[in-house]
Amino acid sequence: MHELSIATAIVERAEEWARADGTSAVSSVTVRVGELSGVVPDALDFAFEVARVGTALAGARLVVEQVTARAYCDPCAAEFAVGMPPFFWCPRCDRPSHDLRGGRELEITAVEPAPAH
């Protein structure tokens, strides 16, 4: 399960951000996960629960924003969802597309500090 190594990296990076911000605890981390990233959101959530133990994120929740895989068709200027499994054929003009516009994301977009007590 490579999600554990990804969750560990998320926790480490979020701790770095928290330290740089002068925060000792994090309440949530938001990540964008593309449909074609190879990451299973439920598995990532489970792995995050394990990776956060004993860290500044011990009480944090993981917020996963799923990104639909989208391609662009040059001949007809259409953008379309490729689905799973991916199908890179334009539904508008019936031609193949070679321009993936989204769906491989795996990035932290927000780290929220825990409220001060």
The band of 71, judged by pLDDT with boundaries at 50, 70 and 90, is very high
The confidence score (pLDDT) of residue 115 equals 86
Position 75 confidence tier, pLDDT thresholds 50, 70, 90: very high
pLDDT exceeds cutoff 90 at 61: yes
pLDDT at 94 over 70: yes
Q: Are 33 and 69 in contact (CB under 8 A)?
A: no
DSSP assignment of 61-108 equals: EEEEEEE--EEEETTTTEEEE-TTTT--B-TTT--B--EEEES--EEE
Residue 29: name the closest of 92, 109, 106 by CA: 109
38: CB partners within 8 A, 6+ apart: 2
Percent of the chain with pLDDT over 70: 98
The answer to whether 107 and 32 have CB atoms below 8 angstroms apart is: yes
pTM: predicted TM-score of the whole model, two decimal places: 0.87
What the block records as the tokens of 117 is 């007590």
- The arithmetic mean of pLDDT across residues 76-103, rounded, is 95
- How many angstroms separate the CA atoms of 15 and 55, rounded? 8
pLDDT at 84: 87
pLDDT in the model for residue 116: 75
Pair 22, 111: CB distance under 8 Å = no
For 86-110, what is the mean pLDDT? Answer: 95
